[in-house]
Amino acid sequence: MIRALLERIRQKHRTVGYPAAPPTLPDRFRGLPKLEPGKCPDGCFECAAACPVGAITREDGQVRINMGKCLFCGNCAAACPHGALHFTRDHRLAARTRGELMAGAGEPQLAAALDARMKSLFGRSLKLRQVCAGGCNACEADTNVLSTVVFDLGRFGIQFVASPRHADGLLITGPVTENMALALKKTYDALPEPRIVIAVGACAISGGAYAGHDEVRNGADAIVPVDLYIPGCPPHPITILDGLLRLLGRLPEDIQASGA
């Protein structure tokens, strides 16, 4: 016990400074994709051809990326011969609606907070039941790590609980396999009202790499209504934390407006 205490003293403060300070992200981190229309000539669609999940489309002459489908593999940026597409280090990816998941040349539409009534209920204390609906455990791992001393999700009043009867909402990962569809619906039905649902990762939003397979439902909102989408494959813990805090209106105003 004494050795453990001495080691903690040696390590000093381990909790990240975010949201009071900018997040520290790994060198290989890929955040919000960004398009530069001036470099993208009409008729060139090589980025879309390189996308393994069909996340890139052209609408009204503009290339758009569906972040809910995007695996953040980087194939599109590597295939673009004009340098018109790149991945930024912007960790702010969460969205309240599917329409807000479409990224392009403009500024992202950041996830809005819950309405006043819901925020008054959950803004200071949010209990979540996590459901792995057939995931590969990557999103699950980056969700679970939020409870460690490094991210310390509990300091914001957010905790994972074992029973849906004790929860305010669901946090769902995985593409929702046929074997998990009924279990997910029963878990949702067991939640007391009012309740919220958060879909984390490309699989939970759109089916991810498994989209279109006969054995998956292509995301959580095929079974339950979703209040917050957090893209990524998997999303970084800071991206998940940012989405949760935006939903609860818990970010400082400067970060709410411009990001860290």
pLDDT mean over 47-74: 90
CATH code for the domain in which residue 128 is found:
3.40.50.12280
Q: Which two tokens stand for residue 226?
A: 């979703």
pLDDT mean over 144-170: 95
Q: Which two tokens stand for residue 71?
A: 């695996």
Range of the domain at 137: 116-258
Instruction: Examine residue 4 and state whether it is found in any structural domain, yes or no.
Output: no
Instruction: Examine residue 13 and state whether it is found in any structural domain, yes or no.
Output: no
The pLDDT assigned to 40 comes to 81
The answer to whether the beta carbons of residues 101 and 67 sit under 8 Å apart is yes
Beta strand ranges found along 100-185 (DSSP E)? 102-103, 126-132, 158-160, 169-173
Residue 1: pLDDT band (50, 70, 90) is: confident
With a cut of 50, say whether residue 258 has pLDDT above it: no
Instruction: Examine residue 211 and state whether it is found in any structural domain, yes or no.
Output: yes
Q: Which two tokens stand for residue 21?
A: 């300070």
**Domain tally, the chain:** 1
The answer to whether the beta carbons of residues 96 and 58 sit under 8 Å apart is no
pLDDT, tens digit (0-9, with 9 covering 90-100), for 175-223: 999 999 999 999 999 999 999 999 999 999 999 999 999 999 999 999 9
Instruction: Examine residue 148 and state whether it is found in any structural domain, yes or no.
Output: yes
With a cut of 50, say whether residue 259 has pLDDT above it: no
With a cut of 90, say whether residue 256 has pLDDT above it: no
> DSSP letter string over 185-227?
HHHHHHSPSS-EEEEESHHHHH-GGGTT-TTB-SSGGGTS--S
With a cut of 80, say whether residue 20 has pLDDT above it: yes
Residue 255: pLDDT band (50, 70, 90) is: low
The pTM score is 0.92
Q: Which two tokens stand for residue 227?
A: 């209040």
Instruction: Examine residue 232 and state whether it is found in any structural domain, yes or no.
Output: yes
Instruction: Examine residue 217 and state whether it is found in any structural domain, yes or no.
Output: yes
Residue 260: pLDDT band (50, 70, 90) is: very low
With a cut of 90, say whether residue 12 has pLDDT above it: no
Token pair 């390189």 in the structure block, residue: 50
Half-sphere exposure of 138 (CA within 13 A, CB side): 14
pLDDT, tens digit (0-9, with 9 covering 90-100), for 103-137: 876 778 899 999 999 999 999 999 999 999 999 99
Instruction: Examine residue 45 and state whether it is found in any structural domain, yes or no.
Output: no
The pLDDT assigned to 43 comes to 72
Task: Please tell me the distance from the alpha carbon of residue 86 to that of residue 160, in angstroms, as a whole number.
Answer: 35
CA–CA distances in Å: residue 177 to residues 24, 46, 77, 229: 34, 32, 31, 18
Q: Which two tokens stand for residue 123?
A: 């803004």
With a cut of 70, say whether residue 253 has pLDDT above it: no
Nearest to 155 by CA among 74, 91, 248: 248
Instruction: Examine residue 74 and state whether it is found in any structural domain, yes or no.
Output: no
